[in-house]
Chains A and B, each alone.
Chain A
Amino acid sequence: MTQSPTYIGFEEYSEHVPPSIPAAVQQATGRFVSGRAARVAELPQFEQLRQSGSDIRQHTIENMDMYLAQLEEQVKSAGGHVHWAETATDANRIVLQIAKENNVKNVVKSKSMATEEIGLNHFLEKENIQVIETDLGEYIIQLAGTGPSHIIVPAVHLKKEEVAAIFSEKLDMDAPADPIELARIAREILREKFLTAEMGISGGNFLIAETGTLVMVTNEGNGRMCTTMPDLHVAVVGIDKIIPDWESLTVFLKLLARSATGQKLSTYTQFITGPRREEGEFGPKEFHLVLLDNGRSKILQDSVGRDVLKCIRCGACANVCPVYKNVGGFAYGSFISGPIGAILTPQMNGTHNARELPYASTLCGACADVCPVKIPIPTILRHLRRRVAEGDAFALPTIPVPIRATANLASLALAQHWIYRFGALILPKVMSIFKRNGWIPSAPYPLNRWTKSRPLPPFTSHFRRWWKTARPTQGKESTQ
């Protein structure tokens, strides 16, 4: 973010989720989940691939300095320029400077999470540079004026009727609620932009250290247009996107499309090694690679949390996450949503800004089951909850005092069995006041937060007494 991060209120958002969002999200993610399952079923070695993917990413993040040095050398020797951006602001300024030096007024953009992360579009627009997103989903949300709500399908929260309404309003036309027609309208407008832009901006799926190659995996062909038509190509890529060599790439190409969209391979896979070398060749005259840190090297210092940097941004974790599917991506208050967002944002922006996110999970573990690089998401969620609740080497505790007091009390009562048993003796009596027809339909605080959604069964707590007094004699001698 170019501005300092604001507090992310998952709870507040989750109380007022527009009902159209879960419906749209569940429909789209359902297709991805079944697609992924079909691709996995036809590839018996998928588990081995996941293990290889995990091992390679682990090795890479643990040796990132070495591979980044190799990458820089290779990109330069291929004729490209390398820029290091420590912060989001640095990255934005670097891109702006390149644009100014080349008199750029119009930019076409390929979909990129890194540029969403740094808020590049707004930054350039403030400097009077027109930026057009050319991925259809990104184009839609750019018109709508929002960020992405999913890693790979940024407009997943919108139904076709809503997209048609946005087109009609923003493009001043009568757009029909027909996906093919909407795509045609966008294509027509974007074609003109591709032909006139002086600069193309992209992100990148992988950076191959061995040869200094930027790898882009896309489905619409717009990425190829952005990176070949203008004379200037700037790629903004997180330093975590690095992989050692082409052999490792074969593993990730197999994993990525299958995990993301349920495709065997995405429609376009591009390999960009520097700018064009001779006149007559395709490609831009200049190639700039902006390597974005923005907190990543700080995350690397945390031996548990750093596994988040293994992520290859496939979105599979969000597709299976029941929490994500019921709140949508905006609840996570950041460019990245779903389980991966819940473990990345608090590390990137600090737990003081995002203390609610690590708790935005039932720890059901569905995400870890599908992650193509085996990121232990529930473990990292717990790790970050601990940072919030008790503090660690990276941050002071930020949990509200009443919750901490409750935890202290619970710890005391549960560690002393006589306190617990005294509680278990009186609770049924106290709670029986609230019993109606065999249920507790509305309980006092804090259990009212349970009963606002469903009744509570009555407290019984008779087992201990039954064991002592009423149990048939068989086995009685073993009673302690």
Chain B
Amino acid sequence: MPQAQLFITCLGDQFYTSTLQNMTRILERLGVEVSFPPEQTCCGQPLFNNGFEEKTRPVALSFLRAFSKNDAPIVAPSGSCVGMVKHHYPSLFKEGTPEHALAVDIASRTFEFTEYLVNVLKVTDVGAVYPHKVTYHASCHYLREMGLKTEAKTLLSQVKGLEFVQLKEEETCCGFGGAFTVTYPEVSRSMMENKVKDIVASGADTVVTCEPGCLMNVAGGLHKAGAKVRAMHIIDLLASTPHPSPLPRGEGTTPFSNGRRVGDEGQS
């Protein structure tokens, strides 16, 4: 039985409860034994990307310790956070030290969710049904740092009823960029507004992305613009089934059905 440790990311943890629940459900439905190390916090990317390398090191160490208790693959709903662990953690520690060895080990078994499904589990059809016009925003780190060019689209192509429409400038940044949104809010807004314009012009009723950060930005922008387009994490779309699995008590976490939106309930 394949195993996976959930790396929920700090944005997922703070804002996307239902996405994390759906991630758990999809993995379990695919026969993965899922575990969750509760000592995890944030990968430290906000510090690292803003030049605080020294301050990132203790955060990275805490992450490495949290996930080293188990040697199962680590799976996250974000290419950006996985990119941090995979491509930058080893550079934080001096070669030859036990910390460096641990960082290299963890880096080698950390996967973004769609990457894990398509390239590790070799699953492209998760049995999702979503009879809507869907467009896709390729998130920067997911696309360029992780090199994930086809995984999300492969998964979308297997969703029953889904009609895919191409987004103009699919690969152009939406203006999130982490702290960039608060460092240069006006520039971030211009970029976001361009993205929102393209999404609306695509004629899709749903836009999906694989990053919680881009999702927050784009969903907020669509809401502000009064656009009737849903922004969803790809996980929530893939969790849409005609026959939802039994629900946990409490928490409005209904998997998508009959045109309702998964992400909404857990957040309101």
Contact = CB atoms under 8 A, between A and B. Distances in A.
Interface in A65-121: none
A390 interface: yes
A208 interface: no
B185 A450 contact: yes
Interface stretch (A44-52, A130-138, A252-260, A358-366): A358-366
Interface string A377-418: 000001011111110000000010000000110110111110
B186 A17 contact: yes
B12 interface: yes
A361 B216 CA distance: 19
Contacts of B250: 466, 470
Contacts, number: 227
A467 B36 contact: yes
A389 B48 CA distance: 10
Chain A's interface size range is 35 or more
Contacts of B53: 386, 390
Contacts of A389: 50-52
A474 interface: yes
A407 B52 CA distance: 7
Chain B's interface size range is 35 or more
A432 to B, nearest CB: 11
Nearest to B37: A480
A417 B38 contact: yes
Interface string A201-237: 0000000000000000000000000000000000000
A14, A322, A323, A389 — most chain B CB neighbours (10 Å) = A322
Interface in A6-64: 10-11, 14-15, 17, 22
Contacts of B258: none
A458 interface: yes
A447 B182 CA distance: 7
A470 B8 CA distance: 17
Contact of B187 (A327, A410, A461, A478): A327
A15 B187 CA distance: 8
A427 interface: yes
Contacts of A424: 13-14
Interface in B19-51: 20-21, 24, 28, 33-42, 44, 46-51
A413 B48 CA distance: 15
A259 B47 CA distance: 34
A444 interface: no
Given A382-B51, A453-B192, A463-B12, A415 B186 contact: no
Q: Is the interface of A mostly helix, strand, loop or mixed?
A: helix
A455 B52 contact: no
A470 B183 contact: no
Nearest to B19: A463
Contacts of A446: 182
B267 A326 contact: no
B268 A458 contact: yes
B184 A10 contact: yes
24 contacts: A22-B190, A327-B190, A359-B179, A359-B180, A361-B177, A366-B171, A386-B52, A414-B44, A416-B62, A417-B66, A439-B220, A439-B223, A450-B181, A450-B185, A453-B185, A457-B219, A458-B267, A460-B266, A463-B21, A470-B248, A470-B250, A472-B248, A475-B34, A480-B38
Interface of A: 10-11, 14-15, 17, 22, 322-323, 326-327, 358-366, 368-369, 382, 384-390, 399, 407-408, 410-411, 413-417, 420-421, 424, 427, 438-439, 446-447, 449-450, 452-464, 466-467, 470-472, 474-475, 478-480
Interface of B: 3, 8, 10, 12-18, 20-21, 24, 28, 33-42, 44, 46-56, 58-59, 61-62, 66, 69-70, 140-141, 144-145, 171-173, 175-192, 194, 216-217, 219-221, 223-224, 245-246, 248-251, 253, 264, 266-268
Question: Which 3 residue pairs across A and B have the least CB separation, nearest first?
Answer: A362-B177, A389-B51, A385-B51
